[in-house]
Amino acid sequence: MNAGFLAEADLCRPSGDDKQQYGALAWRTDRADRTKIMLITSRRQRRWTIPKGSPDKDEPGFMTASREAFEGAGIIGDIATHPLTDYSYLKRLDDGSLEPCRVTVFSMKVYGTISHWREQGEREREWFSIEEASSKLDDAELAEFVRAHGPFPGRPKRSRPKSWASVTLPHVDHE
């Protein structure tokens, strides 16, 4: 686990048969200037995690993370274009087998949430303090990073890093 933005050359590639995914560590500050982290529940086991998923063909990792945050949590914001950290986990498939996955995580400053989103009926979403989020997260490696750094490459930074992108997502038809 890295304690800052990963260098482009350090982008984690799946080892062996690991499936590569990208996730968003979504955050905001409240009126009292306290950082809050958005977590969502997994579909099957209802574990607390971050929005994450697999890339579409030729989709950059930060775009995948932003899309997954929009679809899985209904959140909109600015996402870092360089990874924040990475972690491994085992994904339970429909047949009960486990698939090793490697998740590259991007920090996402949230500016808004929408009231109806694609996976609303499948997941819960909730804002937590950094300490609460780190204790709720089911992935120990990610929880340790959040506990030590929050959503920032060095805690407690409040300013936006230079390598951020405002991502405008296409209209999603929820039929």
Model confidence pTM above 0.85: no
* Band of pLDDT at residue 7, cut at 50, 70 and 90: very low
Tell me whether the omega of the peptide bond preceding residue 100 falls within 30 degrees of 0, making it cis: no
pLDDT digits (tens, 9 = 90+) for 107-163: 999 999 999 888 888 899 999 999 999 999 988 999 999 998 887 764 443 444 445
Peptide bond into 156 cis (omega under 30): yes
Separation CA 55–CA 65 (nearest Å): 8
Q: What is the pLDDT of residues 11-29, one digit of tens each?
A: 444 456 789 999 999 999 9
Residues 107, 16: Cα–Cα separation, whole Å: 26
- For each of the domains in the chain, give its residue range(s) and CATH number, in order of start: 8-151 (3.90.79.10)
pLDDT, residue 6, reads: 44
Q: What does the pLDDT read at residue 149?
A: 85
Name the average pLDDT for the chain.
82
Per DSSP, 137 falls in state: B
- Return the top range by mean pLDDT from 4-13, 60-69, 113-122, 166-175: 60-69
